[in-house]
Amino acid sequence: MYYYFAQFLPDEEQPGVYNVSFPDLPGCDTFGSGMDGAMRAAMDALTGYLEVEQDRGQSIPEPSDFATAKANAEAQARELDIVVPEGTLYQMVPADPRPEPF
């Protein structure tokens, strides 16, 4: 089982929708309606990302601690000129990718 922190950023144009990104995993992004939907989408995205990386023979990066993950997510948002609004959450997301082939 793997665990990574994700940023759950409220979508300003779509109330109730959260954009989800994983600061430790570039390109691992998704979204969902409500926190339940966003968490399910985050778990699916994280699992898929890790499985693809395994299939490509890539090593899985070590997850950052909370403070580092949050700082990295906020820095990435600033680089993209995205304002991190009140209500942004940082949650640990679990993933259980299929086992690596022998």
Distances (CA, A) of 27 to 23, 45, 66, 81, 86: 9, 10, 19, 17, 24
**Strand pairing partners for 30?**
20
The whole-number pLDDT of residue 102 equals 46
| Residue showing tokens 């570039």 | 26
For 43-90, what is each residue's pLDDT tens digit?
A: 999 999 999 998 999 988 999 999 999 999 999 999 999 889 888 999
Rounded average pLDDT over 19-24: 96
